[in-house]
């Protein structure tokens, strides 16, 4: 993460989510519709709660793009929280608006509430919830959409699919309906695939230049993801060397493989095969059937605060993972091929 660098900001019910991306070369087409499509993909999927219906996220670009092309200067992306009008006072930046409306003090297990309150000294857990909420992934998906637009110019594509929801590997909607009725939540497993990557992104020369490590950070830091693997990594410990490694053959003078257990990464570098990443998402902690917990204000046992939430968000999580991995890849891409404009990069990457 060096050439394509970005910061994101924004509270769940604050005025807006914002991102600044620095390091995008000049001359790339930025298609707002594509970004909005990605935002929509994040909001879709069976099992989402009420908020997804309230808000259709739309990006606004306030810098770095002119007449549809990147200028080379930092790009600002803004997603307004449409719900903000109802939260204006509650989330106000002004000391004059101080109120304890919507404040709460009962920790939600599985969330940042407890550790966050110890760390930052917040009594009102609202101050933690607002940023630790997965709402912030909307702007990360927008950043990832910019990364994808860059990669698209070089023929690189991304896709994802859900592999499992709860214990089911096929009938996802039924599984989700059942969980909703029970007032519980479900996690799942998903897969992200990038195609058409050049050989040699990432490097074995230093631990922090390995692309598998960078991708693992990107995916594991998505809220609720608890496991990340590359290719058939979940089974890597069970297979022998003979079974796991992808032998190399020649076909019409070109090197080919018949398998891709390695998921496209050897020695921390892309090897020309599809890049495959899988991850497990835990069930969302906020449930209608609440968990036992503790009220930090008076140290008494109670049940967890419930805030409108989803039953299952694995599809969304896969979209977020696509976006995050796109950021890791585009950074390697920019580092490898150099160049300050699309034109220069195209010349360099031939």
Answer whether 38's CB lies under 8 Å from 145's CB: yes
Supply angle C-alpha 210, 211, 214, rounded to 5: 95
Q: How far is the CB of 244 from a copy of itself (least distance, A)?
A: 5
What value, to the nearest 5°, has the Cα angle with vertex 17 and ends 16 and 21?
135
Touching a copy of itself, residues 312-331 (CB under 8 A): 314, 324
Rounded-to-integer distance, Cα 109 and Cα 285, Å: 7
Map residues 151-190 to x or -, x wherever contact with a copy of itself holds by CB under 8 A. -------------xxxx-----------x--x-xxxxxx-
Q: Is residue 37 part of the contact set for a copy of itself (CB under 8 A)? A: no
d(CA 48, CA 53): 9
Question: By C-beta, is 158 or 321 nearer to a copy of itself?
Answer: 321
Question: How many C-beta atoms lie closer than 10 Å to residue 31's C-beta?
Answer: 14
The 8-class DSSP code of residue 332 comes to H
Among 128, 176, 329, 330, indicate the residue that binds a copy of itself (CB under 8 A).
128
Q: Which residue among 130, 191, 315, 322 contacts a copy of itself (CB under 8 A)? A: 130
Q: Which range, of 36-44, 50-58, 147-155, 222-230, touches a copy of itself by CB under 8 A?
A: 222-230
Distance CA 331, CA 132 (A): 25
- Please give the backbone phi and psi of residue 22, each rounded to the nearest 5 degrees, phi first: -115, 135
CA distance linking residue 315 with residue 48, whole number of Å: 10
Q: Closest by alpha carbon to 188, among 276, 280, 277?
A: 280
Nearer to a copy of itself, 10 or 45 (CB): 10
Sites for a copy of itself among residues 237-276 (CB under 8 A): 237-242, 244-250, 253, 255, 257, 262-263, 266-272
Pick the closer one to a copy of itself by CB: 196 or 347: 347
**Nearest-angstrom CA–CA distance, 322 and 194:** 8
d(CA 7, CA 47): 30
Give the number of residues in contact with a copy of itself, rule: CB under 8 A: 169
Q: Single out the residue of 145, 219, 326, 329 in contact with a copy of itself (rule: CB under 8 A).
A: 219
Query: If binding is defined by CB under 8 A, does position 73 make contact with a copy of itself?
Result: yes
**Is 83 a binder of a copy of itself (CB under 8 A)?**
no
Task: Verify binding: residue 200, a copy of itself, rule CB under 8 A.
Answer: yes
> Contact 161/189 with Cβ under 8 angstroms?
no
Report the site for a copy of itself in 269-298 (rule: CB under 8 A): 269-272, 280-285, 287, 289, 291-294
Q: Does 102 bind a copy of itself (CB under 8 A)?
A: no
- The CA distances from residue 20 to 78, 90, 105, 330, in Å, are 9, 26, 33, 16
In the complex with a copy of itself, the residue whose CB is nearer, 52 or 345, is 345
For the bound state, the minimum distance from the C-beta of residue 165 to a copy of itself, rounded and expressed in Å, comes to 8
Of 42-50, 112-120, 145-153, the window that binds a copy of itself (rule: CB under 8 A) is: 112-120
Report the nearest approach of a copy of itself to the CB of residue 54 (Å). Answer: 19
Using CB under 8 A as the binding rule, whether residue 222 contacts a copy of itself is answered as yes
Query: How many Å apart are CA 88 and CA 71, to the nearest integer?
Result: 34
């Amino acid at each position: 993460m060096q050439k394509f660098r970005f910061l994101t900001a924004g509270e769940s019910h604050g005025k807006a989510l914002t991102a600044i991306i620095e390091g995008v070369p000049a001359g790339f087409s930025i298609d707002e519709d594509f970004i909005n499509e990605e935002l929509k993909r994040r909001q879709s999927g069976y099992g989402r709660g009420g908020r997804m219906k309230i808000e259709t996220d739309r990006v606004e670009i306030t810098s770095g793009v002119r007449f549809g092309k990147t200028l080379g200067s930092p790009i600002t992306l803004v997603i307004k929280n449409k719900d903000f009008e109802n939260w204006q006072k509650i989330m106000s930046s002004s000391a004059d608006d101080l109120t304890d409306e919507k404040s709460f003090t009962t920790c939600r297990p599985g969330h940042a509430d407890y550790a966050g309150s110890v760390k930052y000294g917040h009594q009102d857990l609202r101050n933690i919830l607002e940023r630790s909420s997965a709402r912030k992934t909307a702007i990360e998906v927008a950043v990832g959409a910019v990364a994808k637009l860059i990669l698209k110019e070089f023929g690189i594509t991304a896709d994802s699919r859900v592999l499992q929801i709860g214990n089911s590997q096929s009938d996802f909607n039924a599984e989700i309906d059942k969980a909703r009725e029970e007032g519980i939540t479900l996690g799942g497993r998903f897969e992200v695939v990038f195609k058409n990557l050049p050989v040699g992104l990432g490097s074995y020369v230093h631990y922090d230049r390995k692309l598998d490590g960078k991708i693992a950070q990107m995916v594991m830091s998505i809220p609720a993801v608890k496991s990340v693997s590359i290719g058939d990594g979940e089974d890597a410990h069970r297979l022998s060397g003979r079974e796991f490694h992808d032998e190399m053959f020649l076909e019409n003078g070109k090197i080919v493989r018949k398998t891709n257990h390695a998921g496209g990464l050897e020695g921390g570098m892309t090897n020309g095969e599809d890049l495959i990443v899988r991850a497990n998402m835990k069930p969302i902690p906020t449930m209608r059937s609440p968990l036992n917990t503790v009220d930090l204000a008076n140290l008494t046992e109670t049940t967890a605060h419930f805030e409108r939430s989803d039953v299952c968000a694995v599809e969304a999580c896969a979209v977020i993972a696509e976006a995050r991995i796109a950021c890791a890849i585009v950074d390697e891409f920019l580092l490898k091929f150099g160049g300050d404009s699309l034109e220069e990069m195209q010349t360099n990457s031939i």
